[in-house]
Structure formats: structure tokens, C-alpha cells
Amino acid sequence: MAEIIKIDSNTWRIEDGFVRFFLLEGDEKAVLIDSGVNCPDAAELAKTLTDKPVILANTHGDGDHTSGTGGFSEIYMHADDYIKCEVNIRYPGVTLKSVNDGDIIELGNRTLKLIHIPGHTYGSIAVLDMQKRILYAGDSVQKGHIFMFGDKRDTKSYGASLSKLIALKDEYDYIFASHDEYCVPSDYAAKVKEAWEKVQSGELEYEITDMFGNKVKTYTTEVCGFYVD
């Protein structure tokens, strides 16, 4: 069973095992940011927390973030992940509401700005809650190990995407992550970028780990970790 934790009067985090997702409520509607790994009833769960119409917006298309997709008629997501992560195949009855960098979702006195940050996946986005000054970064910024192996990852763009978030640091005070600790400081994107640059330069040692039948390089730092081809 998912554990619901109220963050403030109109924001909740839903802990679904090793992953979490979020419900944000405005005056007119609400949005689920992701829908967990084992929560096919995420839409119904959201209705127990808000009487506003609920839409679903995904930070990316990995399976541990999309379990409740079937409860919605449409999903706000970058088109790259809708295809490359096979969301269209796993949830054929759900229509894509394609999002682009800089798009706005207005909830009613609560404005969300969508930021395209390819890296962890080609279609990864971050969601900036402009009034509350919170950045929802999906898997791209966290204290845990970040998956950067396989054909869904855009390793060439990841560093630039982190720089993009760093450039916006005056617009948010905290980053909310989908794994590990839910809240990290606003400077954490810079710390993750520094760790990633050390991986790219060959400065860090690694171990070989079996991940779902793949032999991957596992890097671990004090800031975060990475699983890399």
C-alpha cells in the first residue's frame, strides 16, 4: 500500500516502495506528478485527497513512474518518452498530451513550468512549482544511483540539462526527488553535475554490477551514484 504524506495544505507525496510521486492542488485543478511503480489506482487515490479534477504529468516514461497511467484518459509527457519508453504500448488507451520545454500548466493560483532535461531519458522533464519555489526533478537529480545505461538514456545531453537547472537556481529553493531522500537543497543539481563530470572524465573508480541482466559500471560518490554502460 502506498503511504500518503502531506507536505503542506495542498501538496502531498505518495511513497510507493522505492519510488515516490506527488499530488499538487490548485484552486481549479490538481496534477499528479508521476504515478508510481505499484499504484494502478493512483487516480482514485488522488480523488481521496482533492475534489479538483486531476491530470497526470510524467517526469519521464520509466515503468516505476507510470503504474497509474491507465486510470487517466490522457497523459502530459514529452513525446520522446511516450515512444522510446513504450508508454504508448503499455497504455494503448491513453492519449498523449505532448509537452515541450517552457510549457505552462495552470492549476489556479499555482503555476507549473515544464523544463525539458534530456539525460536520464530522452524525454525527461522537471516541473517547477513557481509559487512554492519547488523543483520536481524526477530521477535526474537525487541522492540515489541514477540509471544512465541502456538505449533510453541520453548521456550526451545530461550534463547540459543539469546546467540548465543550475541556471534556474534563483527560481527554486528546494528540489523534490523521486528516489532516496525526497527533498534536497537547491544547489544539488550542481553537485550531481560535478559528480557526473568526474564519471565522464574517468576520474572515478567503479564496480561492475549486474542490473537486470546487464553488466554496468556502478559509480558511487558522497553526492549520488550512477549506473553507466
Q: Which residue in this structure is represented by grid cell 537543497?
A: 185
Strand-pairing partners, residue 183, are 176
pLDDT of residue 188: 98
Global pTM value: 0.97
Q: How far apart are CA 117 and CA 109, in angstroms?
A: 25
Q: What is the pLDDT along the chain (229 residues), one digit of tens a residue?
A: 799 999 999 999 999 999 999 999 999 999 999 999 999 999 999 999 999 999 999 999 999 999 999 999 999 999 999 999 999 999 999 999 999 999 999 999 999 999 999 999 999 999 999 999 999 999 999 999 999 999 999 999 999 999 999 999 999 999 999 999 999 999 999 999 999 999 999 999 999 999 999 999 999 999 999 999 9
* DSSP 8-class letter at 34: -
Q: Is the dihedral of CA 212, 215, 219, 220 positive or negative?
A: positive
Distances (CA, A) of 7 to 61, 64, 151, 188: 25, 22, 35, 20
Judge contact between 32 and 74, C-beta under 8 A: no
